[in-house]
Chains A and B, each alone.
Chain A
Amino acid sequence: DTAVSQTPKYLVTQMGNDKSIKCEQNLGHDTMYWYKQDSKKFLKIMFSYNNKELIINETVPNRFSPKSPDKAHLNLHINSLELGDSAVYFCASGITGLDEKLFFGSGTQLSVL
């Protein structure tokens, strides 16, 4: 069983469209994250949720809206996609405050044309 699963793996779309990426974890973790990895492989945190509550929002444009219906799911909706949104988006979950070990999903490669 996959610990952290996100779909889709690839997403190719036109500028201006709206798209969603889904993430689910079956590890029983309280905290989930979205990270963005750019073409230079820099991993930057976007959002953190703890038990469905937004904890961190790192200066992400409000076109990005995370939604956590329960602590096992954290979806990412992106409105009005721009060229600069092209990147790999990783969902992750973990138990913070202990060993800070994060489990990452396989990533969603978003290409905005």
Chain B
Amino acid sequence: GQSLEQPSEVTAVEGAIVQINCTYQTSGFYGLSWYQQHDGGAPTFLSYNALDGLEETGRFSSFLSRSDSYGYLLLQELQMKDSASYFCAVSSNSGYSTLTFGKGTMLLVSP
């Protein structure tokens, strides 16, 4: 089976930097994705890492270490609108490619 662990909640202030960690256990690992979901909204894709290293997209960066089964999402210059839930998800091939989500990290950004 697959399992993912991420913190349930993180708080930070505007302008700060926050890192949301994700560890996973899976067989047939393809890659690690991150999704953002605002209250009442749909999950939206943020990033995908298939190879080790850091991927940067604007204020958001995502990191993967396949050997450690670990990744993180780094959010810089936090804004109030970044308050949302952030999900890591693993892609794996158990016959067919599947995407399994972690339980989500609620990020609260305060003034």
- The answer to whether the Cβ of B83 comes within 8 Å of any Cβ in the partner chain is no
**Assembled-state Cα–Cα distance A61/B81 (Å):** 38
Instruction: Return chain B residues, CB-CB under 8 Å to A97.
Output: 30, 97
Residues on the B chain within 8 Å of A41, using CB = 37, 85, 103-104
The answer to whether B42 touches A105, judged by C-beta atoms less than 8 angstroms apart, is: yes
Contact, CB under 8 Å: A100 / B48? yes
User: A interface, by DSSP: helix, strand, loop or mixed?
Assistant: strand
Q: List 28 A-B contacts (CB under 8 A).
A: A40-B103, A41-B37, A41-B104, A42-B103, A43-B43, A43-B101, A44-B101, A48-B96, A48-B98, A50-B96, A55-B96, A56-B96, A90-B42, A90-B43, A94-B99, A96-B91, A97-B30, A97-B97, A99-B31, A99-B50, A100-B91, A100-B97, A100-B99, A101-B45, A101-B48, A102-B45, A104-B43, A107-B42
Please give the number of chain B residues whose Cβ is less than 8 angstroms from any Cβ of chain A in the complex: 24
Cβ of B27 < 8 Å from any Cβ of A? no
Residues on A facing B (Cβ under 8 Å): 33, 35, 40-45, 48, 50, 55-56, 90, 94, 96-97, 99-107
